[in-house]
Structure 1
């Protein structure tokens, strides 16, 4: 029987102790004396968030298929346990074995969101691993980061030994095999990092130097080690149907954010929205075989006991076999009490017909993402959605029995005017008006239109990576313009408007496009007490501002200034397949309010078509 790292006395005095005890259904137990590599897989947020992440489930399953490797899980302890671990000097531990993370060979951290950066330092600190890679010895785990934020790893460069750039199913086996050989050779930690740097897709930050112009922009970014390549090429799984997939995902003891079986139906997106980082990073679009997905659905529901299955994709409506897959899921599982969740659908006649079959319309709401209120702004961002599309879809939804609609918008987009802002409220009102055009006897009470706006953050490897941002005060001013306009609408009693925290947006912007000079700010914010920065109840903007002041870093340099066409960006050493010339061309088309057709309509020559030996829709058709 396993001995828990925490005593009963501690477990009884913290919130949700089931977060920390392990032993869940389908969790993997191995004899640590019979494996060569121990890998702690970390999600730097609470258990409920981390357990909902498909990427970790995939890697957990993939690593544990190796007889020589035992992969375990670790999550950020909530504030109550954080204090206990510090007060009692208990090192952070993995769930399966309850062994200290510092005893592992690897600590792998998935980096999904910029506002988790202080939690990464919490994980290292509580694990009693030196925060800085340069201070670690052969006795410390190799700290490796992956996930979308590694497409600009520079703000975290000091804290990681390696970053894995791309999809995890490609070169991890090569890395683990290399580690085993190094481990028996008796070489130094630096020797192993040299060998790792030679593996395509792996970035070792300490093997690169940055220099800066007097205006603060980057002058050069070059390798200082022969093993390190000038360009790090992202890893792509071209045949996603053949990639490992977890047939026995771990089933949590407590309710988590997404308590369901997840079917990833495709990777990538054909749409080309200019603000969307994922749409650029995960090109080219690759679909999973529909027969394989049917098999996965049967097996995973049987192996987990979950009562819901969700289709995962950036744009599910664009999956070419969606009709067949959804029809199968309905026929196979609807009478067995299995709910079917279909996120990321475009609201059209087919989608509404499908949703009417799988949802209880009296209880559910539909979600549209117009992103912008005016057609001009939707053209700027290349949303590929007209007002007629939105109102027609809403009308069909209302006629089908839905009465609740959620509308998602962004504020602070490039070239945005006050008229564009006000159109958010006016479009929401026109959606409500479309409901009241239905004959009264066909309505189901009043409608509720809830509009939400986040504030735009320019991300690396998007056409908007050249765009400037605003101050928190300016974002709030824009939100209040929209809010005031909502109060002027005819159907204001059916409308509700809310917006995100502008202060978090400003910090997210600095982290998203920051360079290595941001690392001291993150470390200082952590030392001052910043933790769980994406959680409203724990976010401390005053401490973050103190950290910037203490380190002398200017927020406006990273957020408000104009970036020139040829400026060297901190992430330019990464090759994602999409060319910089394409991104800049799309930036110019945005400023000219010109729409670019989606990949299925016409190839725009972004460069991703032949990346990794694949082809795009133009190549297929």
Structure 2
């Protein structure tokens, strides 16, 4: 391995120098001179966040299985190192070899959150790679973006060479092989490679499309510049989950990561159909991993990492068909070694509580419910499929089982929301607290604590709510005040607590989530004026952002606050996620007009279109 890119003197000046030295347990080591392709896998946030991301671990494993590829990692340097690298002219480097990533073939950037967009430019700037796609030469790396935010890549399209739409297990091999072949033949040019890459399923090349606009500012059309460039880019889906790569020897960081545990992905997709949830829509259909494979993975990962906790990863763990068998295996074969089991995304029912009582210390833990809305009417609007009786009965069983702390997650600003819906949030919390005090005193563990948290709803692409309007900061805060004031009126108010999300961040997130290419210049100027780590409240400068947006003629009224008509051309309409737009329109109307629930996929196929991928629970339903 090469000498560290940062001297001891520099490392001693940093808050957490272990973020930058590499050599973690299970790190892949190869000889760079013996591979054809060097790939820098980038997470545009701090090391602790990026090291907790399962997607990067999967791709790191998959790419490094190829003898001709060396996949290394890079994360956003924290502001203390950023300043030093700019002053000392130190190019951004990969952790594995400490080599500058500007000398690599690819820089792959995973986009999990819209508020990390300026950090994309930080990565490119520190790497000494031209920020704008149009300014790169044949000697610069190919900049490739993937992840959930690429379901609308348009705000950052001018910074990307390629975007990957869908699950990485499908088309990355074809892309890497194309690049290798062109390099070996000797006829490689950046332009020719991008042209050929656009013909690989799931690969979007923004520079090969022209966007035109109507007089009112809406999009008129998005047109390929060449006949061999597809009009629609189709999301790629791994049908058989047992056939995908998985990191049985995941990286173990020196710095404590946000999620410091083994992560066992049990399935992808979700049967529930919540109308606000992008992941639940774009990861359709629901696909499970086999029980035997999960047992093998669990043992191997615990043995190879030394972690003392294993977490089940899924959008809705309770819907995994063989969950009881998997849990019993983990309890019988893993917990005996001092290993804890984390069970997120569970519905609170008798089985789940029984399991949690076996794997958690109830005196230290709290239970989490996500009703999302306080009233039954609004839960029907968002298709939550959860009744008040479900919530109260679950809480009652939890209290009787020894729990006394409950966290409740809600959203404010949902379509059709009324003041009655807002007041219903603390009223529901009050009823949950009342259920606790119905238990005899000798069976309680002191006072209960019910914590309500509200985020502000952000409409996301490829959801039935993608046309919905958002609100200004003041309106969001007014709604939070209604919840807070109503909480103080409740009989059990001393047992209730309330937290709410920052409204400023919500508005900007909504702008980036549904924006188009005209935002790129504002994002560029924001970075140039010091905006980075916008997802971190200590660094987010809302006044600077608003000044830059105004200077660039970016109207929040146009991009954020207006309701879009159903026939408007949306910036992401060129992507085919497999779920029909007609389905989203139908669900929007069922929410806002009929206010009724659509049965989940196990109860009844709703004909969303995801069956076209094959596999998954909806495959036998009508298409």
Give TM-score, length-normalised by structure 2.
Answer: 0.99
For the pair 1:322 / 2:323, whether they are aligned, the reply is: yes
SS at match of 2:609: coil
**Residues 405-441 of structure 1, C-alpha deviation per residue, up to 9 Å, x if partnerless?**
0000000000100010010010011110110011111
- Cα contact 1:264–1:312 (8 A) shared by 2: yes
Structure 2 unpaired stretches of 5+: none
Which deviates more, 554-563 or 204-213? Answer: 554-563
Report the 3-state secondary structure (helix = DSSP H, G, I; strand = E; otherwise coil) of the residue aligned with 1:176.
Answer: helix
What is the rounded CA distance, in whole Å, between the counterparts of 1:4 and 1:227 in structure 2? Answer: 45
Aligned residues of 2:375 and 2:421 also touching (Cα < 8 A):
yes
In structure 1, C-alpha distance between the alignment counterparts of 2:349 and 2:521, rounded to whole Å: 48
Aligned residues: 620
C-alpha distance in structure 2 between counterparts of 1:109 and 1:88, whole Å: 25
Quote the offset at 1:615 in angstroms.
4.7
Superposed, 1:352-431 pairs within 5 Å as 352-431=353-432
Cα distance between partner residues in 2 of 1:518 and 1:472: 20
Q: Tell me how far 1:619 sits from its aligned partner.
A: 1.3
Aligned Cα RMSD in Å?
A: 0.9
Provide the C-alpha distance between the structure 1 equivalents of 2:349 and 2:91, rounded to a whole number of angstroms: 52
Q: Which residue of 2 aligns with 1:145?
A: 145
Aligned twin of 2:535: 534
- Asked if 1:97 is matched to 2:105, the reply is no
The aligned runs of 1:60-459 (5 Å cut-off) are: 60-184=60-184, 185-459=186-460
Give me the TM-score of the superposition, normalised by structure 1: 0.99
* Distance (whole Å) between structure 1 residues aligned to residue 300 and residue 595 of structure 2: 48
Asked whether the equivalents of residues 599 and 618 of structure 1 are also in contact (C-alpha less than 8 Å), the reply is no
Shift of residue 186, structure 1, vs aligned partner: 2.7
- Determine the C-alpha separation between the residues in 2 that align with 1:97 and 1:129: 19
Secondary structure in 1 aligned to 2:611?
A: coil
SS of structure 2 residue aligned to 1:140? coil
Deviation of 1:546 (Å) = 1.2
**How far does residue 140 in structure 1 lie from its aligned partner after superposition?**
0.4
Contact 1:608 1:616 in 2 (8 A): no
1:34 counterpart = 2:40? no
CA contact (8 A) 2:91 2:128 kept: yes
Q: CA deviation at 1:521?
A: 1.3
Q: Is the 8 A contact 2:233 2:574 kept in 1?
A: yes
Partner residue in 1 for 2:12: 12
Q: Distance in 2 between matches of 1:92 and 1:556?
A: 38
Moved more, 459-468 or 554-563: 554-563
Deviation digits for residues 84-123 of structure 1, max 9, x if unmatched?
0001110100000000010000000000000000001100
Query: Cα distance, 1:617 vs. partner?
Result: 3.9
**How far is 1:251 from its partner?**
0.8
CA contact (8 A) 2:399 2:436 kept: yes
Aligned-residue offset at 1:333: 1.3
SS at match of 1:464: coil
1:609 and 2:590 matched:
no
C-alpha offsets along residues 238-266 of structure 1, whole Å, 9 cap, x if unaligned?
00111111111111011100111110000
Q: For residues 340-399 of structure 1, what are the alpha-carbon distances to aligned partners after superposition, in whole Å with 9 as ceiling and x for unaligned?
A: 000000111111111111111000000000000000000000000000000000000000
Question: Tell me, what secondary structure is at the counterpart of 1:566?
Answer: coil
Compute the displacement of 1:187 (Å). Answer: 2.5
Alignment check: 8 A CA contact 2:369 2:409 kept: yes
Distance 1:571 1:326 in 2: 40
CA contact (8 A) 1:479 1:499 kept: yes
Which ranges of structure 1 fall in alignment gaps of 5 or more residues?
Answer: none
Is residue 602–residue 618 contact of structure 1 (8 Å, CA) maintained in 2?
no
Per the alignment, residue 549 of structure 2 pairs with 548
Q: How far does residue 618 in structure 1 lie from its aligned partner after superposition?
A: 6.5
Q: Which secondary structure does the structure 2 equivalent of 1:609 belong to?
A: helix
| Contact 2:269–2:283 under 8 Å retained in 1 | yes
Residues 21-48 of structure 1, C-alpha deviations (whole Å, 9 max, x = no match): 0011110111111000000000000000
Give the whole-Å Cα distance in 2 for the aligned partners of 1:195 and 1:307. Answer: 46
Q: Secondary structure at the match of 1:109?
A: strand
Q: Deviations over 1:43-79 (max 9, x none)?
A: 0000000000000000001100100000000000000
- Does the Cα contact within 8 Å between 1:422 and 1:485 map onto a contact in 2? yes
